[in-house]
Amino acid sequence: MAVAANNKATVVVEGHEITISNPNKLLWPEMGISKIMYLEKLLMLAPYLLTYCKDRYLTTIRFPNGYAHKSFYQKNAPEPIPPFVKTAMLEGINYVHLDSVPTLLWLGNLACLEFHPSFHRIGGQLPEEWLIDIDPSVDPEPRIMEAAELIGEALDRMNIRSVPKTSGATGVQIYVPIDRGRGYTFEQLRKIGHFVAQYSVQKHPRLFTVERLKKDRGSLIYIDYLQHWHGKTLSAPYTPRARKEASVSTPLRWDEVARRCDPREFNLLTIGSRLAETGDLIRQAAPQNLDHVLSFIK
C-alpha cells in the first residue's frame, strides 16, 4: 500500500520498503499511465516477466521523464543498491539480477521501461532458448506478420515447433524452447539460423534480407539470426516497451499471426486480461530437440 508524502510514496513488498518518487508522473501520457500505475502493472506482470529475467544478466533502458524523452541503457547496477537487490559480474559489468518483485519495482521506480536479459544464465555459457529476430526496415511494416508466418512455416517443415512473440516495438521474434539437456551451443544455433535465413531470402527475395546495415536494406525485412549470442540481448517476453501505445512484448498463437494481428493490441492496459485467458504460451510449448537439423545442415 502506497502512502503519498512530499511527492513521494512508499510501498512494502515482501517485507522490503520501496520509496516511489513522483508517483503521479506520466510515463505514457497518451495512455494515461503514471509511474504508480506502471508499478501496479509490473506487479501483475512479475510472475511472467521474472521467469525470463531470473538468473540472467539484465540490461534495462531508462526513461526518467517518460517514453518520449531522453533515455539511456543501464548495464551496471545503479547506485545506491538496496540490500535486497542482487547483482552479478560479467566482463567487468555489475549487472542487476532481477529475481524478485521488490527488485522489479525498484527498477520500475527508476523508470526502467524495458527489460532485456541475456540469452544465457548467470555463470553459464550455453543458451537457454533460441530466437530469430524479424526486424522490419520501415515503421509501420504491414507485412511483419506475414514474414513471421513464413519463418514459422520454414521451421515447421524442419520439424521445429516455435512460438512467435511481438518484440513490443516494430518486429516479431520467433522463440524456440530448446531441450537444454542436449547442450546446444550458440554456434550450433547460429548455424541453423543462418540456414533458415538463407533459405527464406532465396524463396522470398522481395520480402527478406540478411543485410545487417539498415541503410542498405531498402524496405526488406531483416532476418537477424546473429543477435542470438553470448552477451547479447533481446526484449524479454512480457517486457513493456517505450512506445506510444505502451506495448508489451507478447507471445502469440499462430492463428493470431495468420489473422495479421496488430502488435499494438498487446499493451499495458490489455495484457492482464490476455494473460488471464491464455497464460504463458511459451511455457506451454515443448522443448525442442534439434539434433536432426544439426545433422542435416553439417
201 in the same domain as 106: no
- In 199-233, which positions are buried (b, 16+ CB within 10 angstroms) versus exposed (e)? bbbeebeebbbbeeeeeebeebbbbbbbbbbeeeb
Torsion, Cα 194 212 144 137, to 10 degrees, reads -170
Q: What pLDDT is attached to residue 7? A: 83
* C-alpha to C-alpha distance for 41 and 99, rounded to whole angstroms: 17
Residue type, 45: L
Which of 121, 138, 159 is the last residue before a domain boundary? 121
146-159 pLDDT, tens digit each: 999 999 999 999 99
Q: Would you say residue 2 lies in a domain? A: no
pLDDT-derived band at 6, boundaries 50, 70, 90 = low
Residues 101 and 219 in one domain: no
Domain that holds residue 76: 9-121
In a domain, 84, yes or no: yes
CB distance 249 to 166 below 8 Å:
yes
If asked whether residues 154 and 287 sit together in one domain, one would say yes
Q: For residue 22, is it within any domain?
A: yes
| 157 lies in the same domain as 285 | yes
SS3 96: strand
Question: Is the alpha carbon torsion for 54, 164, 197, 184 positive or negative?
Answer: positive
pTM metric for this prediction: 0.95
Give 271: exposed, middle or buried? Use CB within 10 Å, 0-12, 13-18, 19+: buried
Residues in the chain: 298
Percent over 70 (pLDDT), the chain: 98
Domain count for the chain, please give it: 2
In-domain check, residue 3: no
Residues 94 and 241 in one domain: no
What is the pLDDT averaged over residues 48-69? 98
Amino acid at 202: Q
Q: Are residues 81 and 214 in the same domain?
A: no
The verdict on 149 and 208 lying in the same domain is: yes
What is each CA distance from 33 to 15, 44, 66, in whole angstroms? 26, 15, 10
pLDDT tens profile 212-226: 999 999 999 999 999
pLDDT exceeds 80 at position 285: yes
The C-alpha cell that represents 111 in the structure block? 523508470
Distance separating alpha carbons of residues 171 and 279, to the nearest angstrom: 22
Q: Is 164 found in the same domain as 63?
A: no
Angle among Cα 217, 243, 225 to the nearest 5 degrees reads 40
User: Which of 62, 92, 121 is a domain's end point?
Assistant: 121
> 157-207: per-residue pLDDT in tens?
999 999 999 999 999 999 999 999 999 999 999 999 999 999 999 999 999
In the predicted structure, residue 276 carries a pLDDT above the cut 60: yes
Grid coordinates of 44: 501483475
Beta-sheet strands, E only, within the chain: 3-5, 8-13, 16-21, 26-28, 33-34, 56-62, 72-74, 86-90, 93-97, 112-121, 129-135, 163-166, 172-177, 208-209, 221-224
- Give the per-residue pLDDT at 4: 53
User: Residue 249: which CATH number?
Assistant: 3.90.920.10
Give yes or no: residues 193 and 80 share one domain: no
Count CB atoms within 10 A of the CB of residue 158: 17
pLDDT per position as a tens digit, 209-259: 999 999 999 999 999 999 999 999 999 999 999 999 999 999 999 999 999
Of 69, 92, 121, which residue is a domain's last? Answer: 121
- Does residue 215 sit in the same domain as residue 67? no
| Residues 146, 117 within the same domain | no
